[in-house]
Chains A and B, each alone.
Chain A
Amino acid sequence: MPRLLAIGILLGLWQLLVVVGVKSPAGLALPGPGDALAKIGDLARQGVLYPALLNTLRRAATGYALALLVGTVIGLAAARIPVLRAAVGSLLAGLQSLPSVVWVPIAALFLVAGGQDENAMYFVVIMGAFPSIAMGVLSAYDHIPPLHFRLARSLGARGPQLYRHFIISAALPGYVAGMKQAWAFSWRSLMAAELIIGSLASSGLGSLLDNGRSLGDLPLMFAAVLTILVVGIAVDDVIFTPLERGLLRRRGLLAT
């Protein structure tokens, strides 16, 4: 497996830096992969890891679902209504390239200060992820072959039938590609939000990292980073990649 090899090389390089003796300016030694893994074990035994993981996953799922809803509605509306597309098209591209961490201070000011910690997290996740969903819908719609629309007309399909039998199915692969990208955006948005405002709310993976920083507990920081990385990859592997591959295989768009 090339992937295992890549992970092995990465861990090797990390270990090399430890052996060389890299230290922070404050004199703290860089922890190695072993230290981080041991710390993850400790956190699990202390009953800290799972609640943090669950809190974070719950936020990610809720925020992502809301982003999916908002993005799909805006994307579909913009795809079918030319005026709306002209109005929001470039705005969506701009929002997509805007790092969603910029929404954290604003969310902190308006929502966290009002005691709405969770809503602040959702807000940041939605702002980070919905543009990718909406752009995915738009581009998926634009890539439906014109012949399919001609066929639909000649078969007399219109309104809900047109959506159900032609548009939705035809746009699905592009939509899933947008969903996949939106997952990456929502995960990093959530981490930024938890890192900065997480200590006020119930703890998550991001707040573990922040705790590590304030306590000077480097193994804790690296344990948190590793966990965040693994969860991000795992969700993509378990949900989005199989979904995308299944869709493409059935349409004969995938080699092997």
Chain B
Amino acid sequence: MRFLARMVVVSFTLPGSAPAVGQPEAAAPLFDRGRLLATGGVSTVEGAGGGGLVPWALITGYATRDGVGVTGFGTAVVARDMNLYVAGAGIGLFDRVELTYARQWFDTRGVGAKLGLGQGYTFEQDVVGAKLRLLGDAVYAQDSWLPQLSLGAQYKINHQESLVRALGAARAQDAEFYLAASKLLLEHSVLLNGTVRLTRANQFGLLGFGGDRGDRYQPQFEGSVVWLASRDLAFGAEYRTKPDNLSFAKEGDAWDLFVAWFPSKHASVTLAYVDLGPIAGQRTQNGVYLSLQVGF
């Protein structure tokens, strides 16, 4: 209800109308950046607020329940035989709703030539995401074991439809749904995240959705542990299971070890060692992950 009230207030007071009667003080800025540093997380490879692979229940950006936060990000993963580039943006509304968009470029480098697609053949995918905070507050509810819980959905549009179908995928567009739980154990300077995702994506959807080995939504499990070393520095580990729907190439789980630096609420840099598992019949794709997020 508070969320709806805020939306109504904003829509009636923008742009530039007089402050509502009964508010003698200067109104707080809409982009309030009120939440504590690092609590907005970074942007996942799918655009959601969280770690690099695993979404958090926290809403992207630093807006409190009275404000709006906007984030933009760019990510590069350079693995043994392939690269993944991602760019995207997100908006957090009143610490309640998060809307995100990400564009992914999956550069197959030499593998493209090996598979007969051509050197550097690049798969492209759009990911539109929404996240709704259901209950709890990961940060301030330190007297409770209840985590912050959020429900998320992502709609993915793979632009290589005929190719991913030829590789055995059942479709090139699909929705997936997740429930994320996050809890800051401030006493221990540790943040825990767990996510269950219903999906049939092959390699995040980069190789389409569903396949000859399975075409049903399956629950996948994702988790991360983050240690806050100081206000602006976090170390963490993430793990994410993935389906294995295509018989032409085995798919495995992904994990990473990261360090994230938050020099201000306007920027963060994340560096990771990541292992995406075997992709498209190649050996396991481990390598370096680098991500930059900006926000206001």
A and B from one complex: no
Interface residues of B (CB under 8 A from A): none
A interface with B by C-beta (< 8 Å): none
